[in-house]
Structure 1
Amino acid sequence: MSSRFPTPTTGDLVAGISVALVLLPQSLAYAEIAGVPPHVGLFAAALPPLLAAPFVSSPYLQTGPVALTSLLTFGALSGLESVGTAPYIELAALLALIVGVARAVLGLLRVGIVAYVMSQPVLTGFTASAAILIVASQVPSMFDANPDTTGVIERAWWVLSRPNEWDSTAMLLSVATVLVVVGARRVHQLFPGVLIAVVAAVVWSEGTNYDGTVVGDLPGGFISLSLDLPYGQTPSLLVAGIVIALVGFAEPASIARTFATADRTPWSANRELVGQGVANIASGISGGFPVGGSFSRSSLNRFAGAQTQWSGAITGAFAMAAIPLSATLEALPTAVLGAIVLTAVYRLIDIPAMLQIARGSGLQGLVVLGTFAATLISAPNVERGVIAGIGLAFIVHLIRELRVDHRHEVDHETLVLRPYGVIWFVNAPHLESSFIAARAEHPQLQNLRIDFANVGRVDYGGAAKLAELVDDAVDAGLNVDIVNIAPHAKRAMAAHLGGRHGVPTLDQLADDERHQWRLRRKPPSP
């Protein structure tokens, strides 16, 4: 118990408050991305990190509203209810509850392997495309323009192509905010650039009676808990909720894994799943929307001196205490919030990483670029881009599995085939085609040797196809010899070629070779 609830330190207090001062304005901005009123972002910033803290394995992971999950939320809900309305807000809370239950169940079932459900090409393509959409969604705010069209990209293009609609004051505020936030990072990682930009903008807005678009009414008060949600809409949110649960977990899992590696400490994907599940359940019952782990806030937490999970709880408690005072932010120009989002996500548009993947592998390049394009095209339903990317990755895997890598060489009258990897019924014919081509090219062949030294596994269907190849070679008058069969492949081979061409019979196999599952359970030798 003590390992899960360590004593809080001064570093936890300083780090927790430092993160909260960044989280509060960010939560207002990310609420806009999700399509809910700004005060809902404050709800999602308070209870989730507070209740998640006892369950997480990483002392640095900071939970709350994040850009990618907010975009996924908007995509899931925008076609069901009018953005920003009461029914929309209720659906956002229900979606958070679905995401939370899904993650908690996966964690309790100890299937943390879902942290790796998306391959690197899929994740890279989706993240870059989603970041472009997030930036595009903030263009109207940064220019304080009101497009008369729908669609994230379409609205951004409408603004950018009509300079007469630009508000010069909003543009100056946006530029100033970017300079302050980015400049603060260059001064010191703990320099509160976001806080300075927000406070300065609020003071300036109130002092000059700024007539542009501002955050507006923030009810304040205290968080109220409720389970009165539109559960009848659950079927329409189930797929999106599961996608968010899986895709959104990639970031907190990466955060925990990265910091654990740097500190040479263990981490648990299962505990992080449970922690993220609890956070989203808390967000749902407190009127928030789906949340996740923030890399930037987690990095700040670590750099500010956090040592235990208490830092996250302190962040949540501070945010909860600040909600009654949120009315002080009502005069904050929305252009500033848009610029804050821009500074948080622009580095996620990693085009060089996409090109590097494409140069390294044409097929993986197809996956990364396909995911990138599918996410842009499917906006605002970006979860479809993720599904398309995972589908592409699966197809690429199948394409690779359709052929077995191998080398062949001819030594006088002997053809030596050296297959690599896994042989199964789908790719075994590729090996047969290579044999036929080599025999046609070298009619003097009298012997065939198949070397299994580099074969990882042979399934029964693959062994059956290999037996057909061997029989064809024998019928053609060749002497066949099969060598270096690994223990885990002998059973499948013995079932079809036992007692012939160097393959042992089933009776000749050792007990653990006849029952391959025991090899996986057999403890290592001392």
Structure 2
Amino acid sequence: MQTLDVARPDRFSPGDIIAGISVAVVVIPQALAYAELAGMPAYTGLYAAALPPLAASLFASSRYLQTGPVAMTSLLTFGALSTIATPFSVEYVGLALVLALLVGVIRLILGLIGGGGITHFMSNPVVLGFTTGATLLIIASQSAVAFGLEAAPDGLIERLWHVLTNPSEWSWAAIGLSAATIALVRFAPRVHPLFPGVLVAVLIGMAAGTVDGAFVLVGDIPSGFPPFSLDLPWDQVPGLFVSGAIIAVVGFAEPTAIARTFAAQDRVRWDANRELVSQGVANLASGLTGGFPVGGSFSRSSINKLAGATSRWSGAITGIAVLAFTPFAGVVAGLPRAVLGAIVIGAVIKLVRLRALWRLIHVSWGQA
């Protein structure tokens, strides 16, 4: 068994400060959006984006990996909890905290016993199929808010069908705002890799949100963190264990791919076991501070690298920046929820790799 020691210090530079703040600008609105995707109140996304990257930076081997709320893990969280509790309810939030702690413990144990090789057992066809299917489910889950509906069925397929068959409930203002947001999120990198498309979309959304009655808004956001408490539904641990294990393993595929890709580009080594430990500690931090299961983000890690990060401490800077913003989070109360839904759709739509699926069908129908 490996010892749980803090990773060897990397070379900190001013670039880490710039990169960390650049990522914070992106993760704040993303965190609000991914919280709703997970079935959590939007403000809990800030809790999942503050201390987790700070905690992860203590043990990570990758100098670029950014930890926090991500679409895939949020969807898996929703799938695990929505069948046993009502999303956004107090009971649901408590279960999400327990689930985050479970994911953290499982990843931590796997890292300590040298289980980093688990990702090698996930073949490319399996990952491709899972990612594509999950992406389509994510888009379906956000369809109601993107079209401006105030209420929709809980089931994802039922929700999408309700949206498509009830055009009288559509809000054309919300649809227009959603389309503009998706365009900004998807095409901003073509303007410049560091162009803050998500931030621009949020600012436009906040301006649009001042029009009375035009949009369904995020609503009140409490300032600061909730009081620390271990009064959680611990009796639900056995029932959540399988879901926690699935999220711990499947959700680790993304940070593994990120760390491996960037390490290959820089021709440096990375340690899968240390990444498991760092992701485990991050989830423990999220569960103890009011968040939900977290993972590694490819888009934010790419921004981190492009913005000039030279060490893993850029993740700590991101966490500190989100912490500094938390007391002022009320400024986004007037943000239309359509913007949050569109941010999620714009971020994940690129994961639908139809060409890769088509090639796989031609190569091997069985694997496809």
Which structure 2 residues correspond to residues 67-466 of structure 1 after superposition, within 5 A? 67-206=71-210, 208-222=211-225, 224-365=227-368
Percent sequence identity over aligned pairs: 54
- 2: distance between equivalents of 1:352 and 1:210? 42
Indicate if the aligned counterparts of 1:260 and 1:267 stay in contact, CA closer than 8 A. Answer: yes
Structure 2 residue identity aligned to 1:322: F
User: How far has the Cα of 1:321 moved from its partner?
Assistant: 1.1
- 1: distance between equivalents of 2:322 and 2:18? 14
- 1: distance between equivalents of 2:272 and 2:12? 23
TM-score when scaled to structure 1? 0.67
Indicate if the aligned counterparts of 1:117 and 1:246 stay in contact, CA closer than 8 A. Answer: no
Map Cα deviations across residues 163-201 of structure 1 (whole Å, 9 max, x no partner): 211101101111121222233211001011111110121
- 1: distance between equivalents of 2:214 and 2:58? 45
Residues 1:57 and 2:71 are matched in the alignment: no
Pair 1:148–1:300, CA change in 2 (3 A) = closer
User: How far has the Cα of 1:2 moved from its partner?
Assistant: 10
Pair 1:168–1:282, CA change in 2 (3 A) = same
User: How far has the Cα of 1:88 moved from its partner?
Assistant: 0.6
Structure in which a larger fraction of residues adopt strand? 1
User: How far has the Cα of 1:279 moved from its partner?
Assistant: 0.4
Pair 1:59–1:225, CA change in 2 (3 A) = farther
Give the match for residue 492 of structure 1.
Answer: none
- 2:366 counterpart SS class: helix
User: How far has the Cα of 1:307 moved from its partner?
Assistant: 0.5
Map Cα deviations across residues 348-392 of structure 1 (whole Å, 9 max, x no partner): 111221222222223322xxxxxxxxxxxxxxxxxxxxxxxxxxx
Structure 2 residue identity aligned to 1:216: G
When Rg is computed on C-alpha atoms for both structures, the one with the higher figure is 1
Map Cα deviations across residues 424-454 of structure 1 (whole Å, 9 max, x no partner): xxxxxxxxxxxxxxxxxxxxxxxxxxxxxxx
- 2:48 counterpart SS class: helix
Structure 2 residue identity aligned to 1:336: V
Structure 2 residue identity aligned to 1:198: V
- 1: distance between equivalents of 2:241 and 2:6? 37
Map Cα deviations across residues 297-320 of structure 1 (whole Å, 9 max, x no partner): 000100110010110000011111
Pair 1:117–1:231, CA change in 2 (3 A) = farther
Indicate if the aligned counterparts of 1:114 and 1:246 stay in contact, CA closer than 8 A. Answer: yes
Structure 1 residue identity aligned to 2:104: G
Pair 1:50–1:3, CA change in 2 (3 A) = closer
- 1: distance between equivalents of 2:319 and 2:355? 36
Map Cα deviations across residues 13-43 of structure 1 (whole Å, 9 max, x no partner): 0110000111000011111111010011111
Unaligned runs of 5+ in 1: 366-526
User: How far has the Cα of 1:3 moved from its partner?
Assistant: 6.8
- 1:364 counterpart SS class: coil
Pair 1:91–1:324, CA change in 2 (3 A) = same
Give the match for residue 32 of structure 2.
Answer: 28
Map Cα deviations across residues 216-247 of structure 1 (whole Å, 9 max, x no partner): 01001235433322111001100000000000
- 2: distance between equivalents of 1:265 and 1:224? 41
User: How far has the Cα of 1:343 moved from its partner?
Assistant: 0.9
Indicate if the aligned counterparts of 1:143 and 1:167 stay in contact, CA closer than 8 A. Answer: yes
Indicate if the aligned counterparts of 1:226 and 1:287 stay in contact, CA closer than 8 A. Answer: no
- 2: distance between equivalents of 1:103 and 1:69? 14
Indicate if the aligned counterparts of 1:34 and 1:73 stay in contact, CA closer than 8 A. Answer: yes
- 2: distance between equivalents of 1:289 and 1:119? 28
Which range moved further: 139-148 or 221-230?
221-230
- 2: distance between equivalents of 1:94 and 1:195? 31
- 1:107 counterpart SS class: helix
Indicate the RMSD between aligned Cα atoms, in angstroms.
1.5
